[in-house]
């Protein structure tokens, strides 16, 4: 019996993922699940670039505006919520279509999450003290002796991950690299298809600039001012636009400068997104042409599914 499909449409910001996912979902009787770490928050539809209202009315969307921006929301919580939505959609004989640009959210769903409860605060404190006294390279050498595979993936200066790997080994007697292989994700149960939309860099940056202008016309200043009056969670406060506009509201920069900072930081974010997705060899890349409409992209995605 063929496995049920779960589809991901990912890519850097401003590539038109929401519209393409909508067109595909309409074609295959799918329902859309957000794969974006900011779109889960309420009260920030402009700054998080949520799909336009016209799309939300025409197709079911999930995990949009579900959490207060004052609350923390992590990958583990997202995974739990997303898995529930997948089962709900499949029960209706429809296809889950994930769309968004948060690579970490995609990875923990497709590959599973590493949830070893083994913890020892005293041991962790001792390891951090060693790192402070002798340097992170000292701990990295220790890790290399007990878990060469993990040490090869962890940078010698990434103290937090080195400490965690050593902590797990000392408490379980097993290398973290072996334990991580035991995790299960969607790829073990479903026919997972991952597509990444890609634009020429100059065109992508042009779109980011145009979209930023549109966000201001839609009321970004008013939305940001309202959000900045709240005690935001660490995650929601990282939304591009908040820090930049706070500088404007505080009188530290003009509006033109704040806008330029938003565009520049969004472009840098798009580069980080591409770097993440390029590492995953399972992804099928969809290069968007100048005259491609969302409908055309949806058609191309549909053809690649068969």
The pLDDT value recorded for residue 89 is: 98
Rg over CA atoms, the chain: 21
The CATH T-level fold of domain 121-180 is Histone, subunit A (1.10.20)
In the chain, ranges of CATH 1.10.20.140 domains: 121-180
DSSP string, the chain: -PPPEEEEEE-STTS-HHHHHHHHHHHHTEEEEE--TTTTBTT-TTTTTPPPHHHHHHS-EESSS-B-TTS---HHHHHHHHHHHHHHHHHTT-EEEEEES-HHHHHHHHT---------HHHHHHHHHHHHHH-HHHHHHHHHHH-HHHHHHS-TT-HHHHHHHHHHHHHHSS-HHHHHTT---GGGTSEEEEEEEE--HHHHHHHHHHHHHHHHHHTHHHHHHHHHTS---TTGGGSTTHHHHHHHHTTSS-HHHHHHHHHHHHHHHHHHHHHHHHT-TTPEEEEPPTT--HHHHHHHHHHHH-
The pLDDT value recorded for residue 94 is: 97
CA 23 to chain centre: 22
CATH number of 5-113+186-305: 3.40.50.300
**Strand order through the sheet with 61-62:** 61-62, 30-34, 95-100, 5-10, 191-198, 284-287
- The two tokens of residue 45 are 């539809």
In contact, 198 and 286? CB cutoff 8 Å:
yes
In the chain, ranges of CATH 3.40.50.300 domains: 5-113+186-305
The pLDDT value recorded for residue 42 is: 97
The pLDDT value recorded for residue 119 is: 84
Question: What does DSSP say about strands 30-34 and 95-100: parallel, antiparallel, or unpaired?
Answer: parallel
Q: pLDDT per position in the chain (306 positions), as tens?
A: 889 999 999 999 999 999 999 999 999 999 999 999 999 999 999 999 999 999 999 999 999 999 999 999 999 999 999 999 999 999 999 999 999 999 999 999 999 987 777 789 999 999 999 999 999 999 999 999 999 999 998 989 999 889 999 999 999 898 988 887 778 899 999 999 999 999 999 999 999 999 999 999 999 999 999 999 999 999 999 999 999 999 999 999 999 999 999 999 999 999 999 999 999 999 999 999 888 999 999 999 999 997
């Amino acid at each position: 019996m063929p496995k049920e499909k779960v589809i991901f449409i990912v890519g850097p910001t401003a590539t038109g993922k929401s519209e393409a996912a909508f067109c595909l979902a309409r074609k295959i009787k799918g329902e859309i699940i957000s794969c974006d770490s900011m779109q889960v928050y309420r009260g920030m539809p402009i700054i998080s670039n949520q799909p336009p209202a016209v799309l939300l009315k025409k197709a079911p969307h999930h995990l949009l505006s579900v959490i207060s921006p004052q609350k923390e929301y992590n990958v583990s919580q997202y995974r739990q919520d997303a898995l529930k939505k997948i089962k709900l959609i499949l029960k209706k004989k429809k296809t889950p279509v994930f769309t968004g640009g948060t690579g970490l959210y995609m990875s923990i769903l497709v590959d599973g999450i590493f949830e070893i409860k083994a913890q020892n605060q005293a041991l962790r404190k001792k390891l951090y003290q060693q790192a402070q006294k002798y340097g992170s390279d000292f701990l990295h050498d220790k890790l290399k002796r007990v878990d060469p595979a993990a040490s090869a993936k962890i940078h010698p200066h990434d103290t937090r991950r080195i400490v965690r790997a050593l902590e797990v080994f000392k408490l379980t007697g097993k290398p973290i690299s072996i334990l991580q292989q035991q995790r299960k994700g969607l790829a073990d149960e479903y026919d997972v298809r991952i597509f990444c939309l890609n634009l020429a860099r100059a065109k992508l940056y042009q779109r980011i600039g145009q979209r930023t202008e549109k966000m201001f016309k839609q009321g970004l200043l008013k939305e940001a001012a309202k959000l900045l009056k709240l005690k935001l969670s660490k995650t929601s406060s990282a939304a591009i636009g908040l820090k930049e506009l706070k500088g404007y509201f505080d009188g530290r920069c003009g509006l033109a400068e704040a806008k330029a900072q938003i565009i520049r930081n969004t472009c840098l974010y798009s580069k980080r997104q591409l770097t993440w997705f390029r590492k995953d060899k399972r992804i099928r890349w969809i290069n968007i042409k100048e005259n491609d409409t969302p409908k055309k992209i949806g058609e191309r995605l549909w053809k690649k599914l068969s």
